[in-house]
Copies of this chain bind each other. A is one copy, B any other.
Amino acid sequence: MPTIRVVLVEPKNEGNVGAVARAMKNFGVADLVLVKPCRLGAEARQRAMRGIAIMEAARIVDDLETALKGADLIVGTSGIDTRSEKRFARISLTPRDFAARVAKMDGRVALVFGREDFGLLDEELRRCDLLTTIPASSDYPILNLSHAVTILLYELLAARAIKHGKREASGMEKEKLHEAFESLLAETDYPAHKRSRTQVMFRRLIGRAVPSKWEFHALMGVIQRATKRIQRLERKD
């Protein structure tokens, strides 16, 4: 089972932050990071109940990158699922599938939740290794923030029964893999306007596959080998 960090991006309602801290206490999760939050006053403290210590220990940061430091897997939450291939950046797993995959991991998982009104921006979603969307009525699929946190933490606790095995690639290793993939695209003169979405496609694919350290090294080897071979042949040109 990994360590879970909850990241709230620009929460606007202090009551929601308190309710999230309570839900974290209910499900045994302690690491809370707030990106540019609203002011936390009496209502936040009241709603936190016995999660008050979690809220008081929350780290407050200015940007998402700082909030994600040290995370090995970054999971975004999106209120809009899509089957449209054009909106591929928002294709997502159910909370159950997400929990089944993540429960087998070690390391640190950051669960990222967006603003109450706008959710996560596209550029924030692109930073995520995988996305999850809570299935809900198409009539009104937008859950309250603390309700969404509660469902994901509940699913993670429910999935804990499953044993975990192999050692996974760390967040740093995965970033190296993504850099290597980017270099390969560059060396093959991959069309510039398609590069960004192909890199996101690869990030999501790897995010869903949860590679082991061994798989990471093998895949990295293949990609670097292809890149170097092209570079060496070009030098001979």
Complex interface residues of chain A between 33 and 53 (CB less than 8 A to chain B) = 47, 49-51
Pick from B164, B187, B188: contact of A83, CB below 8 A: B164
Name the CB-closest residue of B to A233: B233
Are A198 and B226 CB-contacts (below 8 A) given A23-B144, A151-B151, A157-B135?
no
Q: Is A206 an interface residue (CB 8 A)?
A: yes
Complex interface residues of chain A between 181 and 223 (CB less than 8 A to chain B) = 181, 184-185, 187-190, 197-198, 201-202, 204-206, 208-215, 218-219, 221-222
Closest-CB distance, A161 to chain B (whole angstroms): 10
Q: Is A108 an interface residue (CB 8 A)?
A: no
The reply to whether B201 and A141 contact each other, CB–CB distance below 8 Å, is no
Per DSSP, chain A at the interface is helix
Pick from B91, B198, B208, B229: contact of A188, CB below 8 A: B229
Residues of B within 8 A of A215 (CB): 88, 201, 204-205
State the oligomeric state as a number of copies.
2
Closest-CB distance, A210 to chain B (whole angstroms): 7
Residues of B within 8 A of A202 (CB): 218-219, 222
Please, what's the 1-or-0 string for A81-114, where 1 marks a CB less than 8 Å from any CB in chain B? 0010100100100101000000000000000000
Bound complex: CA A212 to CA B133 (Å)? 17
Bound complex: CA A190 to CA B134 (Å)? 43
Taking A26-B147, A135-B162 as known contacts, 5 extra A-B pairs with beta carbons closer than 8 A to each other, sorted by chain A number, are A26-B141, A27-B136, A144-B146, A147-B147, A229-B230
**Can you list 14 A-B pairs with a CB-CB distance of less than 8 A?**
A15-B15, A22-B144, A26-B137, A26-B141, A28-B137, A47-B144, A88-B215, A91-B166, A184-B226, A185-B222, A198-B221, A201-B214, A202-B222, A230-B233
